[in-house]
């Protein structure tokens, strides 16, 4: 994203570079697309093959080599290598082919890449702040060459997707998220920063792996962990005062604690809690055009009772309250199932995020029994347990409602609570289905069903764009409610005709602008920004999107 900042760190280094220095800077390197004039002016003559080619030919070459790869992991590595050489060509390729490449640069392939991170590591990207850096975190952050950072994605690697504690291997997640911020949200990649907080790992097999690149120690806990995070957050506020910080893939107890600690006063949000909540609420809102249920008629049953479930439930409650439903009545529409079974009040003591949705009811353990007893309209899977949605449970959902909504949201694909094909078959084609990872359309009895991808990539790039553009001091619940409504409104009728709740992945960049506009308007309404913003917010935002087109360097 462009700004009016006169930051000396932005352009002066670029003007000073020549020759191989330019070729080794991925934000400046154009490879064979440098013109004859640029080659002379920048000292590149002889350092490149003699024929200058167009960016279009470069993109075709990339696709030709990409398609030669025989696995998604190989494609991931190929694109990562391209990004290390030529960031603009990488982003242009990703934007132009987002439908086919999204699952390669992010879920589900990024999960496999994280598991193997130490084995496939080639070039550092981002910052590593470790437990050994206590007392000097500011010095570590000062090593980053730019101060005009717009977006930071921060993880400690303890709960990567549905894969658990991957320690320093979790750096693949912030890198992947920020690629989507640029491709789908128009954030300048030079102003993005992935940070891995290495507080150790309790994954013994990782620590024993000679290729593991993180600290060889168990995780910090308690006050020692909290003080390290505090030092990091204070250093970020000092070094990068305008940056939005996205918390990513923290364990549930830390995810809620960090959000509660820093959310009220700083420009932060947790994508696993709030981003997941917004995209799921959007799915529920869009599904009303198929089920003809009002939001007030919905009853949610969550399989999985961690941060994602808590975030979705809280935002759903907030949405109901905005429609006049009393708080206690809204809470009663949300039920949780954890590894033991139905979360009920008689199971006390419970952690706060479970206790809020623990109601008076007989304890039940089998999912199909729970469905028949509670008659939910929406079944939400956030458990990370493959196959958690059993045939009998889906049949029970279809027995209760004509158009049940089945959301199997766990990533990667191997952790999905059920496949769309199973959900359609077990409900005789009546279920409305969305999943966290991409799945192919399903043909059942001659009818084509298209499962929506209920993935945070529909929400966080737009929220980030809106917060950064507006300079909002905080990220609020109202912003995520606005994002959900904006996303649901973007689902076209032709997609709904096949049961799909979301716009095409290829349209996410346009969707992000609509979401960002809703966020900007919310920031204005909540008096969280002093920016002068024109009436045509969407046009203003589009004018500020980062473009991957090459810039003239001579």
Give the residue numbers marked as catalytic: 106, 177
Q: Quick one: which H or E segment has residue 154?
A: strand 151-155
**Count of residues making up the chain:** 554
SS3 268: strand
> Using the 8-state DSSP alphabet, how is residue 344 labeled?
B
Handedness of CA 183, 188, 190, 193 (dihedral sign): negative
> Using the 8-state DSSP alphabet, how is residue 356 labeled?
T
Placement of tokens 């809204």 in the chain: 330
Are 161 and 245 a contacting pair, CB within 8 Å?
no
| Number of Cα atoms under 13 Å in the Cβ half of residue 133 | 24
Give the C-alpha distances (Å, rounded to integers) separating 313 from 141, 204, 280, 404. 36, 34, 10, 18
Quick one: which of 81, 78, 59 has its CA closest to 68?
Answer: 78
Residue 420 CA to residue 397 CA, distance in Å, equals 15
Are 107 and 146 a contacting pair, CB within 8 Å?
no
Token couple for 203 = 């994954």
Helix and strand numbers (H, E) in the chain are: 26, 13
Token couple for 303 = 């399989």
Count CB neighbours of 59 within 10 A. 15
Tell me whether residue 356 is exposed, middle or buried, using C-beta atoms within 10 angstroms of its C-beta: 0 to 12, 13 to 18, 19 or more: middle
Token couple for 209 = 């792996």
Residue 279 CA to residue 184 CA, distance in Å, equals 15
Q: Quote the Cα angle for 323-326-331, to 5°.
A: 100
Phi, psi of 44 (to 5 degrees): -105, -5
**Residue 337, strand partner residues:** 303, 342
**Residue 406, strand partner residues:** 379, 433
**Residue 512, strand partner residues:** none
Residue 453 CA to residue 180 CA, distance in Å, equals 15
Quick one: which of 353, 129, 305 has its CA closest to 220?
Answer: 129
């Amino acid at each position: 994203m462009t700004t009016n900042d006169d930051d000396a760190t932005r352009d002066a280094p670029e003007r000073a570079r020549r020759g191989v220095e330019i070729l080794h800077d991925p934000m400046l390197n154009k490879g064979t697309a440098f013109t004859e004039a640029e080659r002379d002016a920048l000292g590149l003559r002889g350092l490149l093959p003699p024929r200058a080619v167009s960016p279009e030919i470069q993109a075709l070459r990339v696709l030709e080599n990409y398609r030669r790869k025989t696995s998604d992991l190989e494609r991931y590595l190929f694109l990562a290598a391209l990004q290390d050489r030529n960031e603009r060509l990488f982003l242009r390729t990703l934007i132009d082919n987002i439908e086919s490449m999204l699952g390669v640069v992010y879920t589900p392939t990024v999960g496999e890449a994280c598991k193997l991170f130490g084995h496939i590591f080639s070039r550092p990207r981002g910052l590593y702040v470790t437990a050994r850096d206590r007392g000097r975190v500011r010095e570590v952050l000062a090593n980053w060459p730019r101060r005009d950072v717009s977006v930071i994605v921060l993880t400690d690697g303890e709960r990567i997707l549905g894969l658990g504690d991957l320690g320093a291997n979790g750096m693949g997640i912030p890198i992947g998220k920020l690629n989507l911020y640029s491709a789908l949200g128009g954030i300048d990649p030079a102003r993005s920063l992935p940070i891995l907080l290495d507080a150790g790992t309790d994954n013994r097999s990782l620590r024993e792996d000679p290729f593991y690149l993180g600290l060889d120690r168990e995780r910090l806990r308690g006050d020692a962990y909290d003080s390290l995070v505090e030092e990091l957050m204070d250093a970020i506020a000092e070094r990068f005062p305008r940056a939005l910080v996205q918390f990513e893939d923290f364990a549930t107890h830390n995810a809620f604690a960090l959000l509660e600690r820093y959310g009220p006063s700083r420009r932060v949000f947790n994508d696993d809690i709030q981003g997941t909540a917004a995209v799921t609420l959007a799915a529920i809102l869009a599904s009303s055009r198929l089920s003809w249920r009002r939001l007030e008629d919905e009853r949610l049953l969550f399989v999985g009772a961690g941060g994602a479930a808590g975030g979705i439930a809280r935002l759903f409650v907030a949405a109901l309250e905005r429609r006049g439903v009393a708080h206690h009545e809204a809470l009663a529409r949300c039920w949780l199932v954890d590894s033991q079974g139905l979360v009920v009040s008689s199971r006390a003591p419970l952690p706060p995020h479970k206790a809020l949705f623990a109601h008076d009811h007989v304890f039940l353990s089998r999912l199909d029994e729970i469905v028949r007893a509670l008659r939910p309209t929406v079944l939400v899977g956030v458990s990370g347990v493959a196959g958690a949605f059993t045939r009998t449970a889906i049949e029970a959902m279809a027995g209760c409602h004509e158009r049940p909504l089945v959301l199997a949201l766990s990533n990667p694909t191997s952790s999905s609570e059920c496949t769309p094909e199973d959900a359609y078959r077990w409900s005789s084609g009546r279920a409305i289905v969305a999943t966290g990872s991409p799945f192919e359309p399903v043909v059942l009895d001659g009818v084509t069903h298209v499962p929506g991808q209920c993935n945070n990539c529909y929400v966080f790039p737009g929220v980030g764009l809106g917060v950064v553009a507006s300079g909002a001091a905080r990220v609020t619940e109202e912003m995520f409610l606005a994002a959900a409504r904006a996303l649901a409104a973007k689902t076209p009728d032709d997609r709904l005709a096949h049961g799909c709740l979301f716009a095409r992945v290829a349209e996410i960049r346009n969707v992000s602008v609509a979401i960002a506009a809703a966020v900007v308007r919310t920031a204005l309404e909540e008096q969280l920004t002093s920016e002068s913003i024109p009436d045509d917010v969407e046009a203003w935002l589009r004018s500020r999107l980062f473009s991957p087109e090459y810039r003239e360097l001579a």
